[in-house]
Structure formats: C-alpha cells, structure tokens
Amino acid sequence: MSSVYPRRASPPVDALPLCIPADVENFVSHMKTTKSLPPITWNNLLSELNWWNVVFLGLTPLLGILGAYHTKLRWETALFSVFYYHLTGFGITAGYHRLWAHRSYNAGKLLQYFLAIAGAGGVQGTIKWWSRGHRAHHRYTDTELDPYNAGEGFWYSHIGWLLFRPRPKPGVADVNDLTKNEVVRWQQSNTRPFASTRSRTGSVSRRSTTGTGGEGYHNFHHQFPMDYRNGVKWYQYDPTKWFIWVCQQLGLASHLKVFPDNEVRKSQLTMQLKRLRETQESLAWPSDNNDLPVISWESFIEQSAKHPLILISGFIHDLASFIDDHPGGAHWIIKYIGKDATTAFFGGVYNHSNAAHNLLAMKRVGVLHGGFPQGVDDKVVPPSQRLKIARYAELAR
C-alpha cells in the first residue's frame, strides 16, 4: 500500500519544522512585509466581517433549532447524527489535524481518501487551508501571527477569527508537502467553493476532552505536536488515537509517531514539581540561618533569665509559646532554660519525632556565637527541609 511520505524508520530532520520555536528572522521579515488591517471598531465592523462565514455560522444552528422544534425526532436520525458527527470529526482530527497538519503517521491512499471526504463533511474548509492555518498556529502560538491567537480572548480564538477578515495574515508556514499530495489536491479541486467555516479546537489550553474527539489534551499536544496521541495514556479519552491505532492494525496506517516516554515523563514531572513548589511556598519555614542574629554565650545566659531560651544544635530557641503544649511536660523545658539541651533532645532523654524537629526549627531566634555546627548536619537541617524543591538559580547559590 502506498503512502504520502516515503517510508522511513525515523523522520528526517527537515521534516520536523512544526515543533521548533518561531524563527525570529522569518517572523520579523514577515511582520515587515505584511500590512495589518486596522483594528476592528464599531465604525468598520460591517466592512470587516467575513459575511460568508457569518451567514453560514449563524444560519446553520438557526435552521437546526427551528428544525428540532418542528420535526419529530426519530431514533434513526438521532443514531445517524451521532455516527455522522464522529465520522466527520475523525476526518478533521485524524485527517486534517494529525495526518496532514502534523504528519504524525502515514496513511495509505484508501484511508487518505476516506479522511479527505469525511473531513470535507466537517465543513472546516480544505485540508490545505486548514493545515496551513494550523501550522501557523503551532509555529506562532498566541502571537498575532497565530490565526486563532488566544491573546485576543476566548471568543476570538474560537469563533471570532472566522467572522472577521484576518489581521494580520497568519504567519508563514510551509505546506509544500501538501501541495504535492495527490489526495489533498483532489480535495482542493472538488471543494473549492467552501471556505473556512466551523469553529475548531483552537488555542485555549485546558479544555474538556469529550466532544472534541480527544483533542482536549491541548497542552500535551503543543509540547509533542507530532505524537499521534493527544491523550498519552492508552486509556485517556482520545477516540482519534484509538481510531488511528485500529487503522494501523488493519494495515491502513503505519509509522505512528510516538514521543519517547522518557521525555513525556520529564514534562509530567516538571508539572508535578511546579505544583509541589506551590505547596512548599504556601507553608511557613524557619528563618534562614543567615538572617538569625549571632548571640554570645553571656548574652544567651543573660536573656534566659527573662525568656525561656534553650540551646539545641547551636541554635537558640524561644519556647515561650510552647512550654504548656510540650507533650513530655513543661518541667523538661523549664529544666533546660539557659542550657544546652542538644543531647537531651536527640535521644538523651527522649528521641523526638520528625514533626518535633520541624516544630523546634520554627522556634529559632538566634545562633550561638561559635556554637553553630559546620556543614550539613542532620541535627541542623529539620526533616521537612532535607528534601525540597529548589529552582536552578537557587541551587547555584
């Protein structure tokens, strides 16, 4: 069975232009040569509208609603509409998006013709027009060269961009491969009168996955655009991925591209660490060693007469707010006021729990001059701080 792209074990480097960040030189020269249309205001609103799309996008749902009120629903119709929705949906998601815009797998001619016809039924324009815009979306994500720039707001990125003439034109994107493709050309020559129409799964992150053929894992897709999956786990709701996989089993598709699991997991780890870092930052931590005043032994003794100060591991702790809450009894704390309780705290009298170590560190008010242990000592670093999330710049310090 033939396929659009020569079969290779791995894609050549020049076949991967869509996942590289926006090329600055290209971006600038494009901005210089493209005249941007004026911003939309109340005065030019009517002249800037794409009337064909306004009528089509307005009339279709209107007819649907009217029809639903005047015609009794037959179960055959309901069943057909679900079937037709998925059929045309796969044309867009498995065809326009993952096969043609991203080349995330190879499809034989039979599957290509099927997807081209089903995709045309989705009324989202031609493969070439759609893929060109979509490649620009990935290349210039959320800039004004992104045809569905999320920076313009939710409504613009979902439907507004279809209702108005594009300003500026979408950024340059290479679609030479599609121009050469027999099936793409065939579709282009047979569906010309139909330009852009239905809203697509555009540029807003974190959307629901149901009802979009599994196109909802938008963040993953932008990180790994050539992966044939959007929901990376086999069980994640992504019917398009299952559809492509079944096509492979039937011999209709091949070379399904999958990003290395190791790299996918790295991205997942980063997200988890970010969330943990937020938790870490929401908690109160002991004062930094360098921020604590250095206190002499004499001063410590002197001030202990007025405050319940106790020395442990070179740190001076003020236990005024804790004496009565001490599980072992207030008398143990009183006994060690103005004294070094390191040995007693670390098992001499009682081997305290991790939580006790953490709480003790919160009571630090000073460092004893000459009494601070060198290096990283278990007795100095509380258990809750032995493993923590640090940014790269913080590690370098």
Nearest distance, CB of residue 117 and Zn ion, angstroms: 21
**Per-residue mark of binding to Zn ion, 41-70 (x: CB under 5 A):** ------------------------------
With contacts defined by CB under 5 A, how many residues of the chain interact with Zn ion? 1
Compare residues 181 and 203 and give the one whose CB is closer to Zn ion: 203
Compare residues 141 and 342 and give the one whose CB is closer to Zn ion: 141
Compare residues 88 and 203 and give the one whose CB is closer to Zn ion: 203
- ∠ Cα 55 60 61 (to 5°): 115
Task: Candidates 199-207, 261-269, 358-366, 385-393: pick the segment binding Zn ion (CB under 5 A).
Answer: 199-207
Nearest distance, CB of residue 170 and Zn ion, angstroms: 13
Percent helix, percent strand, percent coil in the chain, to nearest 5: 50, 5, 45
Element (H, E) at 121: helix 109-121
- Work out whether 203 is an interface residue with Zn ion (CB under 5 A): yes
Nearest distance, CB of residue 237 and Zn ion, angstroms: 18
Q: Are 110 and 252 in contact (CB under 8 A)?
A: yes
Q: Are 214 and 93 in contact (CB under 8 A)?
A: yes
Compare residues 124 and 203 and give the one whose CB is closer to Zn ion: 203
Rounded CA separation 244/132 (Å): 22
E-state strands within the chain: 106-107, 253-254, 294-295, 309-312, 315-318, 364-368
Compare residues 48 and 142 and give the one whose CB is closer to Zn ion: 142
Which residues, listed in sequence order, are joined to residue 389 by a DSSP beta bridge? none
Classify 240 as helix, strand or coil.
helix
Nearest distance, CB of residue 53 and Zn ion, angstroms: 20
Nearest distance, CB of residue 150 and Zn ion, angstroms: 8
Compare residues 232 and 360 and give the one whose CB is closer to Zn ion: 232
Q: Please identify the residue of the shown chain whose CB is closest to the bound Zn ion.
A: 203
Within residues 345-384, the interface with Zn ion by CB under 5 A covers none
Q: Where are the alpha helices (DSSP H) in 196-251?
A: 218-223, 239-249
Residue 257 neighbours by CB under 8 Å, 6+ apart = 11, 103, 104, 105, 226, 227, 228
Nearest distance, CB of residue 227 and Zn ion, angstroms: 10
Task: Candidates 198-206, 238-246, 337-345, 350-358: pick the segment binding Zn ion (CB under 5 A).
Answer: 198-206
Q: What is the C-alpha radius of gyration for the chain, rounded to an integer number of angstroms?
A: 32
Structure-token pair, residue 31: 């901005």
- Work out whether 248 is an interface residue with Zn ion (CB under 5 A): no
Task: Candidates 173-181, 195-203, 334-342, 377-385: pick the segment binding Zn ion (CB under 5 A).
Answer: 195-203
Nearest distance, CB of residue 203 and Zn ion, angstroms: 5
Distances in Å between the alpha carbon of 374 and those of 38, 331, 371, 378, 387?
66, 31, 9, 11, 19
- Work out whether 124 is an interface residue with Zn ion (CB under 5 A): no
Nearest to 325 by CA among 369, 276, 363: 363
Compare residues 253 and 316 and give the one whose CB is closer to Zn ion: 253
Q: Are 151 and 143 in contact (CB under 8 A)?
A: yes
Compare residues 106 and 203 and give the one whose CB is closer to Zn ion: 203
Compare residues 187 and 203 and give the one whose CB is closer to Zn ion: 203
Nearest to 50 by CA among 136, 167, 205, 139: 167
Compare residues 240 and 313 and give the one whose CB is closer to Zn ion: 240
Nearest distance, CB of residue 15 and Zn ion, angstroms: 16
For strand 294-295 and strand 364-368, is the pairing parallel, antiparallel, or unpaired? parallel
Task: Candidates 8-16, 115-123, 201-209, 384-392: pick the segment binding Zn ion (CB under 5 A).
Answer: 201-209
Q: Roughly how many angstroms between the first and final C-alpha of the chain, as a whole number?
A: 59
Nearest distance, CB of residue 45 and Zn ion, angstroms: 27
Nearest distance, CB of residue 234 and Zn ion, angstroms: 20
Q: Which positions touch Zn ion (CB under 5 A)? A: 203
